[in-house]
Every structure is written in structure tokens, then in C-alpha cells.
Amino acid sequence: MNTKDSPKFQSISTRFARQISANFCKFLSISIFFYLLSLPNVFSAQLTVPDSLIAKRTLYLVPQASAPSSPQAGRIYYDDSENAVKYWDGSRWVSLSGEEDRSVATVIVAASDSLDTYDDAGTKKNDKADLTCQGANDEVTIQQAIDSLGSSGGAVYLLEGTYNLSDTVNISKDNVSLIGQGRGTVLSMSTSGHDPGVRILKDRVLISQIKIEKAGLFHAISSWMKAGLGADYCVIKNLWLETNNDCWIAINIDSHNIISQVHFYDPGPFYFRALTVASDNIISNNILRGAVSLGENNILSANLLSKEGVNVGGKNIILGNIIKEAGGVMIGGGYNNIAANLIYNCPDNWGIQSGGSLCEADLVSSNLLYDNGGGMLIFWTNNSLFTGNMFYNNNKYTFKKEIYQLCGSYNNLYSFNYIYDSDASVYGIYIDWGSSDPWENKGHYLAGNFIDTAGGDNYKIYDESGAGSALDITYTQKEKITIERQIVTLSSSPATLEAAVTPRGYVVFDTGGNNYDLGTSDGSVNAINNGKAVGDTLILEGPSSGSVAVKNGANVLLNGGTTLSAEDTLTLIWNGADWMEIAHSNN
């Protein structure tokens, strides 16, 4: 239609112009191309209108591939590439949809089957995402998103859906976050061999809210491919890791990381590792069905662990975990604190094993071990404390021992453990034979352990070495009390024995072959100073050569004077005022 020849158009135009001039007093120049579809015929024109424009039907903006140059504040246009109406706020283009510009630090990636993903001439698109995967080799798109981040890092968000990976996604920048939408975001791996689904090559990385799955050999996340060092200061949390076959390492990470709320499941029948870490990591609140291997200075706390054991290096804290249907805890280093763990139903293994050339100064306390193949095996472990643990019916294998102190160890303390077994063939504490280094087994202390075994007294504590052994095991138990021996050298007479300041229950004198007196007959010099507490017991043995005459008087009450020579003994008890003779043997 030729609008110049149309009387109808001219009439409407005249009325429209009058209305504008009558009602607007402010003018703002806005160039716009529009259709007034209220007219019977299509009308098009370019106008400059004052103040505001009201379109009662449809306002149409011509799509533009790029933003207008040299815009003034208030300029609007339709961005064809982003399908968004934008306005210039004086410094940048802002979308009228209300979404902020995310191009600097955040990239959103959609899967081929994400909600709102559609097919456009054979290409998958999703208007809510910056990038859309096509359903095959999706690691390429995810890698593109990571690589597009600036040098300071940023976040890549994966929408819900399945991302099919045929190769590894490499996080090769610091400060990168890879975040899904929960278990509905799935990285489905078909990578070859042990190639991981995600490889962390830099530091301070966050991976969260993603499910990673694969059939067959399986590395979900790895950092040890980084040249020189592994990834540090990373956070790995809220992950679901699954496979329908056998897994080697699910998470392989290095140092100064936090791993939390990871659920790993693998029904495969063979050995695999759920988690391997080096040093200075915190691993907490996870459910892991597989072996856990720790280096040094790690904290493993409040986890549910099954199928395989926990392998511990040195200087670790293993606290408050449930370890079941597994290999128990295997300590291979020193200075560990293993406390308050529930270890049960490991039928083919010991609940706790400690052994290795570096095992020393370990503290194992307040653990509950029951229904395991055996209770606790200790070998090549020195200067360690095992206290306050409960051992209950650990008789499911042929070990037949609740606590087994094997050879190659010295100076361990076993105290206040509760040991029960209903199997008459199981020993409570079994001490193996010991010989010269490196097979020595000596200097251990057993104090205050409660032992209740169905086999009776002979199965409570068993010392395989027999009489005359150099094991030098010290007991303070209801089954047996070992009195500490002290050699006291006398060099003058009359002498006084100090029994309280350096207390010992068993004293052997050394006079260098001379004859000396303890105290005086008139009581002016005490033979023995006062005891420490009522009931203190003291055994005196004569020197191998020479003699010691113990004088009766002052605070020593004897049945006459006593002279001790080689292998003679005098036994005394302190009643609070005097040392009273109990027994005297002249051998």
C-alpha cells in the first residue's frame, strides 16, 4: 500500500501527531523500527517520539549481530547472538532479562539431554547455557568452557544431564570451580585404561555436586599427573562415584586438600582403592567402599569405610570412623593417633595391624573391635601405647589371638584394655618369642587389662618364650605383678636406703665386694627412710660379693639384725610408721 495516497493513513497520522503534541513535554530521542499491528494494513515508519511510547499490540526490534557503536545511555537493541534485549547503562550493555553479564568469571554448560536443550538443524542448543554439549566427546565442550576462563580462574557450571566423556577433562588453571547440579549431573566416562575423568593440574580447585560413572577400570579424579607436584589446596565434595566393575583409584589427590561428602560405590570383587592421598589432607564425612591409603599428616574422620582396609603412613589422625567388611586399619608409620573407631566384621583380617621399621610412638585408644578375623597384631613397633580399647570375639579366622605381640618390638604399653572371647581356643594376650635384634621382643608393659577368655587362665596371657627368656615383660595385672628392680650402690657405712624419693619395690645391693651397714643399732641413723604410702612393699637382695647388714631400730622392725649376702632376701612392708619384716631368706 502506498501510504502517501491513503486518506485513512493521513487521517490517523494527523490525529496521532495532535495527540503527541498535546500530551508530551519532555523529549528523548529513541530511534526504533516498529509495526502497528492494530491497523488493518501493515504500517512501517521511523519516528522520533517524545518521552514515552506505548504499543498496545506488538513492538518489534530488528535483530542485530553486534551492539551499536557509540551508544548513548538508554539506547536499546536486540542482540541476535544471545537472543536478548539489552540497554546501555552508560558503561556497559545490560540484558533486560535481569541476568548479569557472566562472561568474565562464569560459564554455563548444558548437556545434550539437559532440560531446555533442543535440536536446531542437527545441532543441540540450550538458551540457558553458554555452551551446549552434543552427546559425544563432551569433554571437548567442557574443556572449552574451562579454557575460556580468565587467568584468575572462575566457575564452570554443568547443568543437569549426562556428559559423555571419551577423554580426560584437564583443569589447567588455578582457582577453577567445576560445579554440577547434584547427582543429576553425570560425567559418564569411556576413557581408556586408568585415564581419569577429571585431572587437576593446578591448585585451589573446587569440584562439587557431580556424579562420575564408568564401567571397568576407573579413575574419577586424579592430580598426580601434574608435573613435579600434585594439586594442593583443593576442595572435593558432594560427589557420587560409581562403577559396575573394578576400580583402581577413584580419587587420587595430593596435599593440603579437603575431601568431604563423597559417596563411592563399586561392587567389583577385586582389590581397588577408593582414595589415595599424600600429606596434609582432611578426609571427612564420606561413604567409601574401597581401600583408603594415607601418607603423612592427614585427618581421616567420621567416614563409613568398607570392602578394603585403611593403610596409614605416619603422623595421621584416624578418628571416629566405622570400618567394616574390610581389611581393618594397617599402620605402617609412626606418631599416629588411632582413636574411637568402630572396626568390625573383617573376617579375614586383623582389626588393627601395626608393623614396619618406622612404626613407633603410635597411640591406639578407645577403639571397639569385634567379629574380626583377629583383634590386633603388633610387630616391629616400638614405644607405642595401646590403651582403653575393647576387643570382643575377634575369632573369625585362624589367628586365634585378641592381641598378638609379635617379635621385632620393644617398649610397648598395653593398659586398661577390655578383652573378651567366647572361643576356648583364643588367647587374650599372646606374646611371641624374642631373640636378638631385629627379632627382639622385650621391654613391654602390661597394666590393668581385663581379660575374660573361655579357655580359662592359661589363655588369658601367654608368653611363648617360657622361663629364662630375655623378653623382660613387666606386668601389673591381677594375673601377675612384676616388681621393678633397682641396683643400689653402697660406698660407705652406715648408709641409709632412700625408698620414697626414688621408689622401687625390688633393690639389689652392690658393695664392690665390701661389707657395709644400713643404719645403726641405736637408731641414730635410719637403715631405710620412711615409705611413701601405707602398704608399700620392699624386697632387699644382698650383693653378689660382700654383705649388707640391716640394723634393727628406729623405723625398721626386724626379728633381730639381718645380714644379706649373695642371693639372700629380706621382704618388708610399710605400715605408716615402720618397715616391718615379712620374710627373710638365707640362701
Over the stretch 199-217, which tens digit does the pLDDT of each residue have?
Answer: 888 899 999 999 998 765 5
Give the torsion sign (CA, 96, 97, 102, 103).
negative
Residues 315 and 447 in one domain: yes
Grid coordinates of 73: 545511555
Please enumerate in sequence order all residues whose Cβ is within 8 A of that of 530, keeping only pairs 6 or more positions apart, or say none.
Answer: 499, 500, 555, 574
Q: Could you tell me the CA-to-CA distances from 328 to 275, 325, 371 in Å, in that order?
A: 15, 8, 11
- Residue 260 has a CB neighbour count (10 Å cut-off) of 19
Residues 411 and 451 in one domain: yes
Residues 549 and 566 in one domain: yes
Q: Is residue 112 part of a domain?
A: no
Report pLDDT digits (tens) over 11-54: 444 444 444 444 433 333 333 333 333 334 444 455 666 666 77
Residue 461, domain extent: 309-482
Residues 227 and 320 in one domain: no
Residues 477 and 339 in one domain: yes
Rg (CA), the chain: 42
Q: Is residue 87 part of a domain?
A: no
Say which DSSP state 255 is in: B
Residues 158 and 277 in one domain: yes
- How far apart (Å, rounded) are the C-alpha atoms in residues 255 and 569? 61
Q: Is residue 95 part of a domain?
A: no
Q: Could you tell me the CA-to-CA distances from 360 to 332, 382, 583 in Å, in that order?
A: 10, 5, 42
pLDDT the model gives residue 245 = 61
Q: Specify the number of domains making up the chain.
A: 4
Q: Is residue 99 part of a domain?
A: no
Specify burial of residue 515 (Cβ count, 10 A radius: 0-12, 13-18, 19+). middle
Q: Which stretches in the chain have pLDDT values below 70?
A: 1-52, 97-105, 192-194, 215-220, 223-230, 244-250, 266-272, 434-438, 465-471
- With CA atoms as reference, report the closest residue to 550 among 514, 533, 530, 525: 525
- With CA atoms as reference, report the closest residue to 188 among 213, 166, 211, 207: 213
pLDDT the model gives residue 105 = 47
Domain final residue pick, 461, 482, 503: 482
Say which DSSP state 455 is in: T
Grid coordinates of 108: 554455563
pLDDT the model gives residue 246 = 55
Residues 184 and 244 in one domain: yes
Specify burial of residue 71 (Cβ count, 10 A radius: 0-12, 13-18, 19+). middle
pLDDT the model gives residue 43 = 47
pLDDT the model gives residue 436 = 59
Ramachandran assignment for 28, one of left (phi > 0), alpha (psi -120 to 50 degrees), beta (any other): beta
Under 8 Å between Cβ of 509 and 485: no
Q: pTM of the full predicted structure?
A: 0.75
Q: Is residue 72 part of a domain?
A: no
Domain final residue pick, 281, 301, 317: 281
- Residue 478 has a CB neighbour count (10 Å cut-off) of 11
pLDDT the model gives residue 247 = 56
pLDDT the model gives residue 437 = 60
Residues 470 and 321 in one domain: yes
SS3 (DSSP) at 214 = strand
Residues 466 and 491 in one domain: no
What are the φ and ψ backbone dihedral angles of 141, each rounded to 5 degrees? -70, -40
- With CA atoms as reference, report the closest residue to 531 among 548, 515, 554, 555: 555
Provide the CATH number for the domain around residue 451.
2.160.20.10
Q: Is residue 111 part of a domain?
A: no
Residues 333 and 247 in one domain: no
Please report, to the nearest 10 degrees, the dihedral formed by the alpha carbons of residues 538, 542, 544, 545 taken in order: 150
Residues 455 and 493 in one domain: no
Q: Hey, which residues does 144 pair with through a beta bridge?
A: none
Domain final residue pick, 38, 56, 74: 56
SS3 (DSSP) at 316 = coil
Grid coordinates of 376: 590386633
SS3 (DSSP) at 304 = strand
pLDDT the model gives residue 169 = 93
pLDDT the model gives residue 268 = 61
Q: Is residue 313 part of a domain?
A: yes
pLDDT the model gives residue 223 = 67
Residues 247 and 137 in one domain: yes
Q: Is residue 205 part of a domain?
A: yes
Grid coordinates of 198: 577429571
Q: How many angstroms separate the first and last alpha carbons of the chain? A: 141
